Amino acid sequence: MADTADTAEPILELKDVTLKFGETWGLRNVSLDLYPGQTFIIFGAAGSGKTTLLKAVIGLVRVDSGQIKLLGEDVTQMEEHELFGLRSRVGILFQEGGLFDSLLVGENVEYPLVNQQSSAKEGDSQGEEEVECRVRETLRFVELEHTMEKFPSELSGGMRRRVGIARAIVTNPPLVLYDSPTAGLDPITANTIMALIAKQRDVQNTASLLVSHRYQDGEIMADFRYDPEKKELLAIPEEARVSGANGTRFVVMRGGEIVFFGTRHELEASDDGYVKRFVRHEG
């Protein structure tokens, strides 16, 4: 499906995944293969199944039929208690951040590490200093190291979202699920957040599923790459953009079904009236 796939095993495979809520389709025959370093930007109207898809991937909602293979394990065949270990290997950013309001920012970011430790066998666990060091490093990555001792309620919406990103990536997961990371934020903060997501992708070769309502979010992921030397996002060459060489693909959903899958170039060239609504046209 993707050009970057080559010989690597897919991180996530969905085959004919279907879920119905009463008479409404939550997901309808959804099939996807996501490889390391790839990003799928998911667009769709409200209720089209975007968040349901993210939740189904980690078994937070159970599907009616089809197969979901995450990191080589079949989510659809696993019991709830078996899923906890698998989920702890995936990062997730909730739309509202989903931060624990009774924990400090530092403790929130530390949570997935401590959680992994408590389920790890003795000898595999990291020391306290190592954990703190990793938390600081991750908060520095999202430029919020100074907020470690604050409660989430003391931060602005954009800062909370960045803490959410820090918590999602602190364990360096191979896959991160972002649910509307820029929803309700001003354009400057939204671009900062997208830059962080692109940086994480390029520094760690992280695969992502990103639900969004902003076309610019997809543009940043498709047209830019993070340069670790210059420490900034640089535009990729035109021919690489057209071929979608950096692995960014656009998915458009309607009524739980995937109605478009392709590169940014293909998305902009689409004639479908519904698909065209998610493309920002110049002029």
Regarding 81 and contact with another protein (CB under 8 A), the answer is yes
Residue window 91-120: x/- pattern of binding to another protein, with contact defined by CB under 8 A: -x-x-x-xxxx---------xx--xx-xx-
Between 33 and 107, name the residue whose CB sits nearer to another protein.
Answer: 107
* Nearest alpha-carbon partner for 69 in 121, 33, 103: 33
Cβ 20 to another protein shortest distance, Å? 21
Give the C-alpha separation, 135 to 63, whole Å. 35
Size of the site for another protein (CB under 8 A): 24
Between 61 and 195, name the residue whose CB sits nearer to another protein.
Answer: 61
Regarding 153 and contact with another protein (CB under 8 A), the answer is no
Cβ 88 to another protein shortest distance, Å? 3
Task: Pick the stretch among 18-26, 86-94, 210-218, 234-242 that binds another protein (CB under 8 A).
Answer: 86-94
Give the C-alpha separation, 104 to 278, whole Å. 38
Cβ 280 to another protein shortest distance, Å? 30
- Do 209 and 221 form a contact (C-beta atoms < 8 A)? no
Regarding 185 and contact with another protein (CB under 8 A), the answer is no
How many Cα atoms within 13 Å fall on the side-chain side of residue 113?
24
Give the C-alpha separation, 212 to 215, whole Å. 8
Q: Which two tokens stand for residue 11?
A: 């991180």
14 Cβ contact list (under 8 Å, min separation 6)? 30, 31, 32, 33, 57, 66, 67, 68, 69
Binding residues vs another protein (CB under 8 A): 58, 60, 80-81, 84-89, 92, 94, 96, 98-101, 111-112, 115-116, 118-119, 167
